[in-house]
A and B are shown apart, each in its own frame.
Chain A
Amino acid sequence: AQKVTQAQTEISVVEKEDVTLDCVYETRDTTYYLFWYKQPPSGELVFLIRRNSFDEQNEISGRYSWNFQKSTSSFNFTITASQVVDSAVYFCALSEDNNDMRFGAGTRLTVKP
């Protein structure tokens, strides 16, 4: 069964626009962890954030912010005032049993100058 759904395959914005990447997950566990990773054109996977299921506080880190809502099983990621360097594939992921992490299909973000 699909555990993590990123419905947006590709998004294109113009520099300085705000953009939100959606992530919906499914789990039966009460304890779980959610993650976002960035994969720039160079190919490496870069960790952005980790959130546990008991902490629904939104988090802001510079131009990045994350909105975790258990009621809708969503963990959305917003980039404010996007920049060309934000162009990448972004992956949402879920860990339940501590043995592996399940990734969504990814959203390719293109920020045009």
Chain B
Amino acid sequence: DSGVTQTPKHLITATGQRVTLRCSPRSGDLSVYWYQQSLDQGLQFLIQYYNGEERAKGNILERFSAQQFPDLHSELNLSSLELGDSALYFCASSTWGGANYGYTFGSGTRLTVV
């Protein structure tokens, strides 16, 4: 167990729907990062939060949004889902030191859009 908890592990939904993925970081970690892993795009950085504030944005679609709550857990919201959104979504956390000090990843949420 890495200490980073992601729920649910699997999600199957229809096109056009909206889903929420949840991540609880490792105890003491203030930063949360979201990544999308698809077959054709590899591991793509989506967004980073640090202590409740958005810190950096990557290739995140406008249909996607995220937030980090006061208890430091984070949610990634995906709306108007398309078939191409099917992927493995990872959450990672790091200490105050940030990405330079490495991530601890959760086990991922596998999203299937049908």
Contacts and interface: CB of A to CB of B under 8 A. Distances in A.
A102 B100 contact: no
Interface stretch (B17-25, B41-49, B64-72, B73-81): B41-49
A105 B99 contact: no
A98 B103 contact: no
A55 interface: no
Nearest to B107: A44
B42 A47 contact: no
A35 interface: yes
Interface of B: 2, 33, 42-43, 45, 48, 55-56, 58, 88, 90, 92, 97-108, 110
A91 B37 CA distance: 12
A33 B56 contact: no
Contacts of A45: 90, 92, 105, 108
A3 B55 CA distance: 20
Main secondary structure of the interface of A (DSSP, over half): strand
Nearest to B50: A99
A99 B104 CA distance: 14
Contacts of B43: 91, 103, 106
Contacts of A106: 42-43
Contacts of B104: 47
Contacts of B55: 99
7 contacts: A47-B102, A50-B101, A99-B48, A100-B56, A100-B99, A103-B42, A103-B43
A100 B107 contact: no
B5 to A, nearest CB: 12
Contacts of A98: 97-100
A44 B48 contact: no
Given A95-B100, A101-B33, 7 more contacts: A37-B105, A45-B90, A45-B105, A47-B105, A99-B56, A100-B48, A104-B42
